[in-house]
Amino acid sequence: MKINKLDQLFDVLKSKQKKRIVAAYANDSHTIEAVSNAIDMGIIEGTLVGDEATIKKVCSDLKIDPSKFRIVQEADEMKAATKAVELINKGEGEVLMKGLVSSDKYMRAILNKETGLMPPKAILTHVTVLELPTYHKLLVFGDAAILPAPDLSQKIALTEYLIKIAHSLGIENPKVALVAATEQMTAGMPACVDAAIIAKMCERGQIKGATIDGPLSLDVAIDKESAEIKKMTGGVAGDADCLVFHNIESGNVFFKTCTKLAGGLVGAMVMGAKVPCVLTSRGDSAQSKMYSIALAANAAK
């Protein structure tokens, strides 16, 4: 089934075995509400690591029965993140989730060389799935939060992660656009050079499971009229499923423009660790956290 709306993830997950999610420092209402709703939908089982008294107080305020969760006591923010990772490593969960813990401490727990979740030589990156009222299908893109200035090898890994998530959404041959400021091949622009290399790698079978083109400007990647005016052909122009951004600034600004000004809905997670890791802002809505849980659960083994 091809998923065209984020809500459709819930229907898909109801037919699958429940995944177990472990939320790190889950003391906040948005995390607790999102995990509670996902449990009520029958798509996950939930463990909340945090201060038990605070969690039960939030549950009381939200009229949520705390007995639906497994609650693991740890009042310290960093220790709660470390404990959540430990539970994953013990096989007690298939998805990690960020609660009220700050992003740097959450990532520190994941990246810890001795107790974290990193396979050898793995590359962590942030993947977002976006539903826009102005686009005809979901957009999968990155990186908006982890890699400040990805080099070529990191961009290749990001491209492969985007393809993997697109496949999990039922997109058999995703169209991947490597985004630059121009669709013209300009040797003096690193974004163009990297895009051309990755596109050629796909053409020669080094990256499989997708159609890849680049460099492409954003308008050419997602707007058919712009692609036609600029006489851009190929399998991607005007109809991209996935967008690879050159750096964190472009990815992050795109993310926030779409969500804050264009009414976009998102699910987001970190890929490259042993399990999908839900990474949303502490200020994100319970709805965004719900979509992120569903996205990660759908991608989890």
Contact at 8 Å (CB) between 77 and 105? yes
Quick one: CA torsion of 180, 182, 184, 190, rounded to 10 degrees?
Answer: -40
The pLDDT score that the predictor gives to residue 286 is 72
Give the distance between the most distant pair of CA atoms in the chain. Answer: 62
Architecture category of domain 125-260 in CATH: 3-Layer(aba) Sandwich (3.40)
Architecture category of domain 8-121+274-280+289-299 in CATH: 3-Layer(aba) Sandwich (3.40)
| Its pTM surpasses 0.85 | yes
* 261, β-bridge pairs: none
pLDDT tens digit sequence for 106-138: 999 999 999 999 999 899 999 999 999 999 999
Percentage above 70 pLDDT, the chain: 99
Confidence class of residue 280 from pLDDT cuts 50, 70 and 90? confident
Contact at 8 Å (CB) between 29 and 62? yes
Q: Would you list the domain boundaries of the chain?
A: 8-121+274-280+289-299, 125-260
pLDDT at 218 over 90: yes
